[in-house]
Structure 1
Amino acid sequence: MRLKPPDTVPERIGFLLLPRFAMVAFFSAIEPLRIANRIDGRPLFEWDLISHDGEPVVASNGMTLAVSSSLHAAPQVPSLAVCASFEPENGIDDELIDWLRECAREGCVLGGMDTGCYALAAAGLLDDQTVTLHWECLADFRARFPRVDVVESIYEVTDEGFSCAGGSAAIDMSLDLIRRRHGDALAKQVRAQLIHEQGRRPASRQRDPAIPQEPMLQRAMTLMEANLASPLSIRALANELGITWRRLDRLFARHWAMSPQQTYLARRLDHAYRLLCETPHSIMDISLACGFASPSSFSRAFRHQYGATPRQLRQQAVSNHAQ
């Protein structure tokens, strides 16, 4: 899943399965590769399944999957995906961390699926990199690993590594790999076999959060939506609601585990996302319409949220429309 193509075909990818890994994400990554092999008539991709001790691994759904090797008997592969899910840190120990660091020293490109980035971050292999993981874990991951740039996107592929949010996002990441290695035509054929909608790009958002049925929170969100171009300060917002800003802060923390400032920014960026994809307005006009003083501040905030700049997203939207 590395950006740079391998020297030989088939391309070999390792999958490290941690206890209670997300089977849906694992199979979502494997199946597009299997279908690509069948359509092309030759093995374009091969994979090795690895567990800590070489024994079968129980997934989060209770099913058990056999593997081909243990950590220290595993073949050297150009790319390795760490697959995890619930309680990802329970499968991390010094032996695993040492092994991951050795893989990195040998030039293996490492990635995480669902919550697999916890193991890579614990090994110190993600500092100053941009990664994504399942949205439920974003706040905890940011608190534990502040040196990692974590974003709420579908998947990320860079020169340093790769990551995806789990679930069906792994399909999109594998389709992107097939497209980059073997062309759009094969990727579209694989997508058709999977009965999968138009492939999502990395900047696609993971979720569309609903507003809890809390009257004061709904009023706050209505005020935010009505003041996207000229954002209110949080104190002004609280004054409009007739409550203290401390109470407003507690309200958002209780229902969304986010501050009012974070929520307000996310709504402005969500509006910008739709404008970039659905309208021909310039990036300058969109940045002003969403309350940003300059395109540069808009671009920084947008990339942190979606893993791509406004210009990159616009180019992707245009490309998707042309296909």
Structure 2
Amino acid sequence: MTKPMRALPEAVQAVPARRCIFLLLPTFSPLDLSSAVAALEAANKHDGTTRYNWRVVSEDGLPVTAPNGLGVAVDGSLPDLTRGDMIFVCGGQGQEPGGSLKVLGWLRKAQRMGAALGALGGGVLALARSGLLTGRRVSAHWVLRAVLAEAHPDVEVENSLFTMDGKLITCAGGTATTDMMLNLISDHHGAAVATGAADLMVCSSARKGNQDQTVSEYGRTGVRHEKLAAALSLMRSNLEEPLTPGGISDLVGLSVRQLERLFSKYLQTTPKVYYTKLRLGYARSLLLQTNLRIIDVALASGFNSQTHFAKVYRRYFGKSPHQERPF
């Protein structure tokens, strides 16, 4: 005698599968894509219920090759949309095209239809360029925050792992993608399903979106000295209008000479040289990832003169700011 099959709970049976569409830009990160899809697959495997299905698309339906050389075959071109769709724009951390006019129009149409819009990594720049982030809070990879803030000052950029603001979801990318997807799964289907998915992914627990994505000064430089770490943090927070050595010293409670000794002992450099390198690194990211004029890049990184900026830049990188630009 065969045993009657146990029916699944009505609440589980009634859940319609959500369609997730992953749009790959030419700079997409394979880690972001695979992390997101793996989380959705794990949610489906939790108890055999199909909670999500997904499509991977490109603008023209052709395969997309990531910057690391990994090619991904897609399911097609930009599809027709429904209100219940979730769209994730996948970009990278380098020079971002921001999407063609066709892509931007498709995203605006999706927003008008009531679809949820998400961005993984550099995909946030495409949403910003489409005008869909005006006045909104977003998370962006720390490499891109300066670029986004300079090019789109009407967007509130946060240092968090991810931000869920209604039907707008933005994520720093990388391992934060897994955290974001598990939180989404929990919102959609409850903590038990999200925990089961995390277990299948051998993920101990999902971080919350408001956690800071960047590492501490110790993690970045190995410096454990509290006041030196505070000085480094002040420098990173004041690139456009650099503080003087005396100003930094006063704020952290040291003399200029004491600060210089700490830099020499722990970093084998001087405060001035370290600060200049930080500002030049910021300038380089703006040159590579935005269309800002050279003079605007110079001003944004704390140089009052384009000539002086170009001279210092060439001395440090071996090329002029104009030569640095990829376009």
| Aligned partner (choices 161, 166, 190) of residue 168 of structure 2 | 161
**Other-structure match for 2:117:** 110
Does the 8 Å contact 2:133/2:155 carry over to 1?
yes
Alignment of 1:1-323 (within 5 A): 9-71=16-78, 73-76=79-82, 78-87=85-94, 89-90=96-97, 92-210=99-217, 221=228, 234=248, 236-237=250-251, 240-242=255-257, 251-255=274-278
Task: Look up the equivalent residue of 1:236 and give its one-letter code.
Answer: D
Structure 2 unaligned segments of length 5 or more: list them.
Answer: 1-13, 233-245, 261-269, 283-327
Label 1:253 to 1:105 Cα distance change in 2 as closer, same or farther (>3 A): farther
For the aligned residue pairs, the C-alpha RMSD in angstroms reads: 3.2
TM-score (normalised: structure 2): 0.66
- 1:25-63 deviations in whole A, cap 9, x for unaligned? 111111111111112212100112111101111123211
- Count of matched residue positions in the alignment of Structure 1 and Structure 2: 243
Task: Look up the equivalent residue of 1:240 and give its one-letter code.
Answer: S
Label 1:202 to 1:91 Cα distance change in 2 as closer, same or farther (>3 A): closer
Label 1:52 to 1:254 Cα distance change in 2 as closer, same or farther (>3 A): same
Report 1 or 2 for greater relative contact order, CA contacts < 8 Å, sequence distance ≥ 6. 1
Q: Which runs of 4+ in 1 moved over 6 A?
A: 212-215, 256-259
Using the TM superposition, give the Cα deviation of residue 251 of structure 1 relative to its aligned residue in structure 2, in angstroms.
Answer: 4.0
Instruction: Please state whether the residue corresponding to 1:85 is helix, strand or coil.
Output: coil
Give, in whole Å, the separation in 1 of the partners of 2:186 and 2:170: 17
Label 1:80 to 1:253 Cα distance change in 2 as closer, same or farther (>3 A): farther
Does the 8 Å contact 1:117/1:133 carry over to 2?
yes
Using the TM superposition, give the Cα deviation of residue 104 of structure 1 relative to its aligned residue in structure 2, in angstroms.
Answer: 1.3
Instruction: Please state whether the residue corresponding to 2:74 is helix, strand or coil.
Output: coil
Instruction: Please state whether the residue corresponding to 1:90 is helix, strand or coil.
Output: coil
Give, in whole Å, the separation in 1 of the partners of 2:104 and 2:138: 18
Aligned residues with identical type, % of pairs: 29
Give, in whole Å, the separation in 1 of the partners of 2:230 and 2:60: 55
Larger Rg: 2
Using the TM superposition, give the Cα deviation of residue 257 of structure 1 relative to its aligned residue in structure 2, in angstroms.
Answer: 6.8
Label 1:67 to 1:222 Cα distance change in 2 as closer, same or farther (>3 A): closer
TM-score (normalised: structure 1): 0.66
Structure 1 unaligned segments of length 5 or more: list them.
Answer: 1-6, 226-231, 260-323
Does the 8 Å contact 1:84/1:115 carry over to 2?
yes
Using the TM superposition, give the Cα deviation of residue 160 of structure 1 relative to its aligned residue in structure 2, in angstroms.
Answer: 3.9
Using the TM superposition, give the Cα deviation of residue 204 of structure 1 relative to its aligned residue in structure 2, in angstroms.
Answer: 1.5
Label 1:105 to 1:210 Cα distance change in 2 as closer, same or farther (>3 A): same
Give, in whole Å, the separation in 2 of the partners of 1:202 and 1:96: 27
